[in-house]
Amino acid sequence: MAATVRVMKRPVRKSSYIRATLQGMALTFRHMTKSAGDTSTLTLQYPEEKKHISPRWRGTHVMETHEDGRPKCVACGLCPTVCPANCIKLVPGEDDQGNRYPIVYEIDEFRCIFCGMCQEVCPVEAIHVGQHYENAEYTRASFVYDLDRLMSQTHPSTLLWDPSDPAGE
Residues forming the site for ligand SF4 (CB under 6 A) = 73-79, 83-85, 87-88, 90, 107, 112-118, 121-122, 124, 126-127, 129
Nearest distance from residue 53's CB to ligand SF4, in Å? 16
Comparing CA positions, the residue from 78, 129, 131, 73 lying closest to residue 104 is 73
**62 beta partners:** 128
Contact of 109 with 59, CB cutoff 8 Å: no
DSSP classification of residue 152: T
Residues 6+ apart with CB under 8 A from 153: 60, 61, 62, 63, 130, 132
23 or 94, CB closer to ligand SF4?
Answer: 94
Nearest distance from residue 141's CB to ligand SF4, in Å? 17
120 or 162, CB closer to ligand SF4?
Answer: 120
Q: How far apart are CA 15 and CA 27, in angstroms?
A: 18
Nearest distance from residue 31's CB to ligand SF4, in Å? 38
The helices-and-strands tally (H runs, E runs) of the chain is: 4, 5
40 or 99, CB closer to ligand SF4?
Answer: 99
30 or 148, CB closer to ligand SF4?
Answer: 148
21 or 125, CB closer to ligand SF4?
Answer: 125
Residue 24: left (phi > 0), alpha (psi -120 to 50), or beta?
alpha
Nearest distance from residue 30's CB to ligand SF4, in Å? 42
Comparing CA positions, the residue from 69, 126, 65, 72 lying closest to residue 99 is 72
Nearest distance from residue 167's CB to ligand SF4, in Å? 23
